[in-house]
């Protein structure tokens, strides 16, 4: 692993989400104001898959947007915030293209590329692949507000 990697525990210190809504399993590498590479493993018993009676569907496309948003928040935090503070994040405009369905057993490879990164927000371009196939391309605009604690 890279010196700039994050464990699940470190990710939990940044994101407000918890299981089952915490969708980033690990950050493999990142460089401030440049890129972040993360992974999400889709398991057969994923809460968002299937009908609860053994029938498994594709990983919902809407959750790919949430995966991308969580990765972008981690990237912003490691590029700008760099502290224990947890700002509030506000999702703005989202531009999405879907190419292939992700399924149970896939590992989503998530690459966040810097767009514009400011203290008060910005935007990032996120590419998601599974087994070498492009799953989606997402641009997320977001804002932040630091809490006064």
- pLDDT tens readout for residues 20-75: 889 999 999 999 999 999 999 988 777 666 555 555 567 788 889 999 999 999 99
Q: pLDDT tens, 63-100? A: 899 999 999 999 999 999 887 777 888 999 999 999 99
Does any domain span residue 31?
yes
Residue 93's Cα: distance from chain center in Å? 16
**Structural domains in the chain (count):** 1
Q: Give buried/exposed letters for 19-39 (b at 16+ CB in 10 A, else e).
A: eeeebbbbbbebeeeebbbbe
Q: Given pLDDT bands bounded at 50, 70 and 90, which one contains residue 146?
A: confident
| CA atoms within 13 A of residue 57's CA, in its CB half-sphere | 11
Q: How far apart are CA 70 and CA 92, in angstroms?
A: 14
DSSP secondary-structure letter at 78?
I
Q: Note the pTM of the prediction, 2 decimals.
A: 0.89
Which one of 55, 76, 77, 100 is the catalytic residue? 55
- pLDDT over 70 for what percent of the chain? 89
Q: Which of 31, 105, 36, 33 is nearest to 67 (CA)?
A: 36
34 within domain boundaries? yes
Q: What pLDDT is stored for residue 44 in this prediction?
A: 74
- pLDDT tens across 109-144, in order? 999 999 998 888 899 999 999 999 999 999 999 999
Q: Range of 90's domain?
A: 8-145
- For the domain that residue 22 is a member of, what is the CATH number? 3.10.129.10
Torsion, CA 85, CA 86, CA 90, CA 91, rounded to 10: 110
Q: Is 55 a catalytic residue?
A: yes
């Amino acid at each position: 692993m890279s010196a700039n990697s994050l464990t699940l525990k470190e990710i939990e210190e940044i994101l407000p989400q918890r299981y089952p809504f915490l969708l980033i399993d690990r950050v493999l590498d990142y460089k401030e104001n440049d890129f972040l590479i993360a992974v999400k493993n889709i398991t057969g018993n994923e809460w968002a898959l299937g009908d609860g009676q053994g029938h498994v569907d594709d990983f919902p496309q809407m959750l790919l947007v949430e995966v991308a948003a969580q990765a972008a928040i981690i990237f912003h935090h490691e590029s700008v915030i760099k502290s224990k503070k947890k700002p509030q994040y506000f999702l703005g405009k989202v531009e999405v293209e879907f190419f292939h369905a992700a399924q149970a057993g896939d590992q989503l490879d998530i690459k966040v590329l810097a767009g514009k990164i400011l203290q008060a927000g910005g935007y990032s371009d996120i590419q998601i692949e599974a087994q070498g196939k492009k799953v989606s391309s997402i641009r997320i605009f977001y804002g932040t507000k630091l809490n006064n604690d």
